[in-house]
Structure 1
């Protein structure tokens, strides 16, 4: 006759919940499915071509120059219009120039003119587009007057200056974000 040994009752009670837990886990081991990603709404490009981006950025830059020139002509005027045409470094630079004119009692006469504009590149970031330009500005028709009304412009001042400009375009607006003198000053004479 076979020998039957019984498990002590408390070990049997401890094993029962373990068996139930293992059975429950085995029942849950079906293949886990990750839900498919929600369809993303593709962002439509703001411009249908580089030419369209260049045209829009050029218009935005001309508006920037007009606003800054108007504020330099009357530095005590309300400068809130500056925030509609500039952001970031361009806003800081323009604000600093206006503050310098006020501090020194200077007055700007005339308007800068864009002589040449060339598209460097267009970068798309989510819903914003950065348009990089090379521009050549003429100050031939511009004078700067001191507090006494006399010109403070040096006779050797170059009439043409090349700049690298970045314009940020969003669905709401186009604003100049950066404007730095371009190292290739030959650009204006080409």
Structure 2
């Protein structure tokens, strides 16, 4: 649940697109929410309330839509932002984690010096689905020397049980939950 009730229903700005990216999938398009100043402002305000509770030193955003959420949130709460990227996108020395997908594997990377000071980290992304990418990001944050303090998502597909793959002792906030 969001940190504080909102009089604005953020679902108003979510567009359902059937059969994308393949038949049988109902895609929840969050770009109309990002495009609207009122809806976007409310989403970032609510995630800001999460930051007030968990007191992160840094926001870590997962490529690529997590960059949009993360930089807006970091700016509004006055903390730094650290990107977690796909392989080969960051210059310099990186730390990486490989993780499994439904069909194959992928990899996430972070600058090796991004979190070495034990910074408290809030991981953010646009969507929590199966939880594989967020779980890999958790592993990466810990491997890089960060201290995890929670997760924030714009939306969650609860039926996919991604929340169960994340550390249960950490706050996990999703502003919109689809069952």
**TM-score in terms of structure 2 length:** 0.20
Structure possessing the higher radius of gyration over alpha carbons: 1
Query: Is the helix fraction higher in 1 or 2?
Result: 1
